Chain A
Amino acid sequence: MKNRLEILRKQKGIKQEELAEALEVSRQTIGSLENGRYNPSIILAFKLARYFNTTIEEIFIYEEEKNDKN
């Protein structure tokens, strides 16, 4: 699953640490989300959407994968 998290975060001018603190997750989680290595829970996805004042679909782009490793 692709996402626009890094773009949105940079647009807002905040660091990964600051976003992590606001959402009460670890900085590594934000890093993994931005790299696309980790897919968030629905709760975290809603938190992110609320934080950036947008919708989940605007942040995460769902693509059907042939070999889903998760």
Chain B
Amino acid sequence: MIKINSQVKNYILVGISAGIIIGCLFAIKLYGRDIRVIIPLVIALLIFGHSVDNILKIFAIKDSTKAEKQLKIEMKDERNTLIREKAGSKTNEYMLYLNTVIVFILGFMGAEFWMLCLFGFLILAQGVLSIFLYNYYDNRY
């Protein structure tokens, strides 16, 4: 099996996603906004953004092995890991409150039922995922 370099993989993903974005925009121009076009467009935009971000990261540290080493240290640093985990945990907590407030606001604004269900599902999924991941790490460590 051919092993593709991660940088080459990023370039390939940028190319493919850019192609899909152009195709989708062309399709929207011809046939109008259709859910079958919007979904691949959103996915392609996400892949495009992520791949471009990866390429830029590699370019930023390309000529500096010292900077690359420092970046690795910063990523592995236990204090930074603790800060990241705490920030993630707090973000999860605040997003839960924010989503609940949004559901109430939408409810009072007379939003459609499916929209309320969607946000309700989001809150439920967040809660279920938190419990699942807690149990997963509880068994692992």
Contacts and interface: CB of A to CB of B under 8 A. Distances in A.
A24 B79 CA distance: 12
B85 interface: no
Interface stretch (B46-54, B70-78, B131-139): B70-78
A28 B80 CA distance: 9
Contact of A44 (B74, B78, B80): B78
A40 B73 contact: no
Nearest to A23: B73
Q: Bin chain A's interface residue count.
A: 10 to 19
Contacts of B73: 20, 24-26
Nearest to B77: A26
Contacts of A32: 79
Contacts of A26: 73-74, 77, 79-80
Interface residues of B, number: 8
B76 A40 contact: no
Interface in A3-32: 20, 24-26, 28-29, 32
A29 B79 contact: yes
Contacts of A29: 77-80
B113 to A, nearest CB: 45
A38 interface: yes
Interface string B109-140: 00000000000000000000000000000000
A25 B78 CA distance: 8
A60 to B, nearest CB: 15
Nearest to B74: A26
A41 interface: yes
Interface in B64-100: 73-74, 76-80, 82
B134 to A, nearest CB: 19
Interface in A24-68: 24-26, 28-29, 32, 38, 40-41, 43-44
Interface of B: 73-74, 76-80, 82
18 contacts: A20-B73, A24-B73, A24-B76, A25-B73, A25-B77, A26-B73, A26-B74, A26-B77, A26-B79, A28-B77, A29-B78, A29-B80, A32-B79, A38-B79, A38-B82, A40-B78, A41-B78, A44-B78
